[in-house]
């Protein structure tokens, strides 16, 4: 299915940019007229994906994060968050709740949260080459009154 609209963002892996990504994707997804709960779910998933890049992909350096958001005729939004950082050696282990490589201050719930708020989450990664997380959510179609 071909997208009806898309946007690309590129920014540095600084924690201050997490809010930028979250807000930018939310504004873009608003064209689907999501409920506030749906929009908050999308924002939370984006926040988790971007935070993973900041904390895990570039733990000792600053790198680039790439975000692409696309909307489709079936009222869905697909968000891809990509980095060129360390990569994930064991994706299945990384998806386990409470597993983290980020130290005691990290909860290890990032992928679990993304999976609970989005309809689909796909993770591709290669050690030393980076990670791509693709998330999709269908937004309910609301009946407008005239």
Catalytic residue annotation: 48, 52, 106
CA distance 84 to 63: 7
CA distance 140 to 37: 11
Q: Is the dihedral of CA 93, 99, 100, 101 positive or negative?
A: negative
Q: In 5-146, where do the E strands start and end?
A: 5-12, 64-72, 76-83, 120-126, 130-138
3-state secondary structure of 120: strand
In sequence order, which residues have a C-beta less than 8 Å from that of residue 143 and are 6 or more positions away?
none
CA distance 109 to 111: 6
């Amino acid at each position: 299915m071909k997208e009806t609209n898309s946007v690309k963002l590129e920014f540095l892996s600084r924690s201050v940019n997490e809010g930028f990504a979250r807000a930018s994707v939310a504004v873009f997804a608003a064209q689907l007229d999501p409920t506030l709960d749906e929009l908050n779910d999308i924002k939370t998933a984006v926040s988790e994906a971007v935070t993973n890049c900041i904390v895990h992909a570039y733990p000792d350096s600053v790198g680039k994060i790439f975000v692409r958001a696309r909307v489709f005729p079936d009222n869905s939004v697909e968000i891809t968050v990509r980095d060129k950082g360390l990569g994930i050696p064991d994706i299945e282990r990384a998806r386990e709740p409470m597993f983290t490589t980020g130290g005691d201050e990290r909860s290890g719930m990032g992928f679990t949260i993304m999976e609970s708020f989005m309809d689909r989450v796909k993770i591709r990664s290669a050690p030393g080459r980076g990670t791509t997380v693709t998330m999709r959510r269908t937004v309910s179609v609301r009946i407008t009154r005239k």
